[in-house]
Structure 1
Amino acid sequence: MRWLSNISCMTRGLVTPGKYALVSLLAVLAVPAPAAVVVLYHHVSDKTPASTSISPARFEAQMDYLAEAGFTVVPLMTLVETLRKGGTLPDKTLAITFDDSYASVYESAYPLLKKRGWPFTFFVNTEAVGSSRLFVSWDQLREMATQGVTIANHTNAHHHLPRKQPGESAREFRQRIEQEISRAQQKIAQEIGEAPMILAYPFGEYDREVQAIAKKLGYVAFGQQSGVLSEHGDLQAVPRFPFGGSFTELDDFKLKVNSLPMPIASTAFYANKQQRLDDLVVKAGDQPWLVLTLEEPRLLKAVNCFATGQGAIPVEIIRDQLWTRAKAPLNAGRARYNCTAPAGGKGRFYWYTQQWLVTDKNGNWSHND
């Protein structure tokens, strides 16, 4: 990263040993980074399932904070094009997204954001559109599009993409996933008049093969793992901070939208310290290792990591790499490792999340579409 190259030059003179060098390093690393945050919502309602909902009042409070704190809200495509071109992103730049075609977006979020003149992206699973009162109609989507809302691809039927069907060959799997994506893209283009080449994975879940399909088709693809966009991020695993359920408190929102990208040079996954993993899919009972190489190795001692449902997990530094894994076996479903480090003053943090998809012990999916 360009900004980290500058930081490296600034920190070469830090020779004070121990904690004083670390404090000095964190102060230098507090320089704002060219990065941006993408936030994600599903329902904006008091009457929908709590696990995927935020109340209109809490949503408005979050938007009020963005305005008061001086954030610039931009179209998601502005961030995408910047990433594609390797450009820089100014501090406190943010994009707003919604998934799943829910009518509450039109009824509650859209009027509020329209009043502010703020753009947003609505990822729609096209089979759901107009299918019941729970979902938006194409007329409502067309209205939003005329007001600058981006309507984008959330696949056709919102299936769990990494899961192969019984007896399905690798070739049949790839064809089916391509069709899931392409049918939605064609429908959006037909109904709205245009369809940007961006994709949100259903449930935010993907594996290496799904990523390869998205890349082959030319999409920048978004998950639901927390994190911050940066210049060298994976364009088929772009992070977003999801807000819903137990994650709607304003203090939590403030912490996350002020985060900076963890300065990662590379990531690797291991089943144990000798056996490398090639994918993000593991089995229940596994404790996979996440290995991070940072562009500034002296930051390693400041990193803390956490696992879903387990709190803080051990961190080891081996040959200028951070090694971390869950302290207990993972359960079937979805799991995440979150790694953060202080970014100097004002309570800002570097943030990186690694998502794992966990099958049962026999390799079967427990996920329900």
Structure 2
Amino acid sequence: MGVSVKTLKICLLLMCCWINQALASNGVILQYHHVADDTPPVTSVSAEQLRSHLQYLQDEGFDVLPLPDMIKALAENQPLPDKAVAITFDDGYRDILQNGHPILREFAFPYTIFVNPAQIGVQSDQLSWDDIALMGQQGVTFANHTQDHIHLLQRLPGEDTQQWLARIRNNILSAEQQLADKVGYSLRYLAYPYGEYDENLQALLREENFVGFAQFSGAISSASDFTALARFPAAGIYANLQTLRVKLNSLAMPVLTNSLSSPVALESQFPSPQLTIDLADIRPHQFRCYINGDVVDTQWQENQVTVLSGDLALNPGRSRINCTAPSKRRPTRYYWFSQPLFKPDQNGRWRD
């Protein structure tokens, strides 16, 4: 017995409604550090570059939302504006106030700074608590970046897993309390220093009801893992507006499963993760994956794709596998997936 035309129309309508809802449940978070010309280039934008980014957001009709508004909407599976963006800074540098804050106020764009309470007012390049109070009165929100920007994955000599996690938990919770005492609220957000984390730290954040923010590329959605939300770095080599605009218009890749349970990699070569993808708005033949900027092969079996990393060497430090695919319905917008990988050096140290 064949399927009626009416039934097909209903199915197509339901699929279109589902896709529209998925497209409306996406946001992009930008990540900055310094706003200066004399700071490390890899983590810096000039005031002119920041202005060009903000001007693009304004000219192209992006909705720049307070980070808490975006996270709350996605956590509650509520729709966001079509092009929703949140702006974040890590590390609490004073040049954010000196060079970035006036420009952001000019555009009336809200933003969040992740700070290390133990360094506030102590290091000369850091904001003071008075600075933070002033900026808070002008709409800036502040969140946790640990007390002192340590490598969270680094264990002390002789430290077992239980002792390590207890130390990290104390660091995060004490920083949260100190920050709450100063600003009068607690978002329970944590930006991982250096973007590094593993499944143990994700479980810790889940237990403590924290939202985690990472440093790998990608949009976020209601289906994202809220213990490791993607943010697009927008400084250094990533400050180029021509490439940044593609990222600003990106969508969260609808990954249903991922064979990699941890981003920590100890092997000498890149892994070959297997992903299950919801293909309602994606054509497999347009799906591309990249390592170090080069396209790598993929292998499909129904809606499962294996990233064939081959024999590419995985060096100590931080690496990524990025995959993108254009939307069927909105081909100028790309779904984006990023798999971060963290590898210690031969001495078990994590690199800055």
Q: Which TM-score applies when normalising by structure 2?
A: 0.90
Contact 2:26 2:84 in 1 (8 A): yes
SS in 1 for 2:350: coil
Q: Aligned partners of 1:216 and 1:152: how far apart in 2? A: 18
The residue type equivalent to 1:81 in the other structure is: K
Q: Aligned partners of 1:31 and 1:172: how far apart in 2? A: 41
Q: Summarize deviations over 1:192-235 as a string: whole Å, max 9, x none.
A: 12121111010111100011111111101100011111111000
- Select which of 318, 341, 347 maps to 1:356: 341
Q: Aligned partners of 2:112 and 2:11: how far apart in 1? A: 38
Q: 1:346 to 1:365 in 2, by over 3 A?
A: same
Is 1:262 aligned to residue 253 of structure 2?
yes
The 10-residue stretch of structure 1 (125-134 or 214-223) with the greater mean CA deviation from structure 2: 125-134
- Select which of 304, 323, 335 maps to 1:339: 323
- Select which of 42, 61, 86 maps to 2:77: 86
Is 1:51 aligned to residue 47 of structure 2?
no
Equivalent residues, number: 339
The residue type equivalent to 1:295 in the other structure is: D
1:136-215 equivalences in 2 (<5 Å): 136-215=127-206
Shift of 1:301: 2.3
Q: Summarize deviations over 1:269-301 as a string: whole Å, max 9, x none.
A: 2xxxxxxxx422112413312211111276322
Is 1:129 aligned to residue 113 of structure 2?
no
The residue type equivalent to 1:318 in the other structure is: Q
Moved over 6 A (4+): 28-31
Contact 2:32 2:89 in 1 (8 A): yes
Q: 1:310 to 1:36 in 2, by over 3 A?
A: closer
2:300 maps to 317
Q: Summarize deviations over 1:22-78 as a string: whole Å, max 9, x none.
A: xxx9xx899944211000000011110101101110110000000000001111001
Contact 2:344 2:351 in 1 (8 A): no
Q: 1:127 to 1:31 in 2, by over 3 A?
A: closer
- Select which of 63, 67, 72 maps to 1:76: 67
Q: Which TM-score applies when normalising by structure 1?
A: 0.86
1:235 maps to 226
Is 1:326 aligned to residue 309 of structure 2?
yes
The residue type equivalent to 1:198 in the other structure is: Y
Q: Aligned partners of 1:108 and 1:353: how far apart in 2? A: 31
SS in 2 for 1:221: strand
The residue type equivalent to 1:355 in the other structure is: P
- Select which of 253, 269, 273 maps to 1:290: 273
- Select which of 35, 55, 59 maps to 1:64: 55
Q: Aligned partners of 1:247 and 1:156: how far apart in 2? A: 27
Contact 1:284 1:331 in 2 (8 A): no
Shift of 1:12: 9.8
The 10-residue stretch of structure 1 (51-60 or 281-290) with the greater mean CA deviation from structure 2: 281-290
SS in 2 for 1:247: helix
1:18 maps to none
Contact 1:215 1:236 in 2 (8 A): yes
Contact 1:88 1:231 in 2 (8 A): no
SS in 1 for 2:118: coil
Q: 1:106 to 1:57 in 2, by over 3 A?
A: same
2:286 maps to 302
Q: Aligned partners of 1:104 and 1:46: how far apart in 2? A: 10
Q: Summarize deviations over 1:300-327 as a string: whole Å, max 9, x none.
A: 22210001x2511111113430100433
Gaps of 5+ in 1: 1-7, 14-24, 270-277
2:264 maps to 281
Q: Aligned partners of 1:31 and 1:86: how far apart in 2? A: 10
SS in 1 for 2:81: coil
Q: Aligned partners of 2:58 and 2:137: how far apart in 1? A: 24
Q: Summarize deviations over 1:211-266 as a string: whole Å, max 9, x none.
A: 11111111011000111111110000100001111111111111110111112222
Q: Aligned partners of 1:29 and 1:149: how far apart in 2? A: 32
Seq. identity, %: 35
Q: Aligned partners of 1:29 and 1:316: how far apart in 2? A: 28
The 10-residue stretch of structure 1 (298-307 or 223-232) with the greater mean CA deviation from structure 2: 298-307
Contact 1:214 1:221 in 2 (8 A): yes
Shift of 1:347: 2.9
Shift of 1:162: 1.6
Contact 2:25 2:77 in 1 (8 A): no
Q: Aligned partners of 1:157 and 1:133: how far apart in 2? A: 15
| CA RMSD, Structure 1 to Structure 2 (Å) | 2.3
SS in 2 for 1:148: coil
SS in 1 for 2:283: helix
1:4 maps to none
Shift of 1:125: 1.1
The 10-residue stretch of structure 1 (31-40 or 243-252) with the greater mean CA deviation from structure 2: 31-40
Q: Aligned partners of 1:365 and 1:42: how far apart in 2? A: 27
Gaps of 5+ in 2: 1-9
Shift of 1:11: 8.8
1:249 maps to 240
Q: 1:31 to 1:202 in 2, by over 3 A?
A: closer
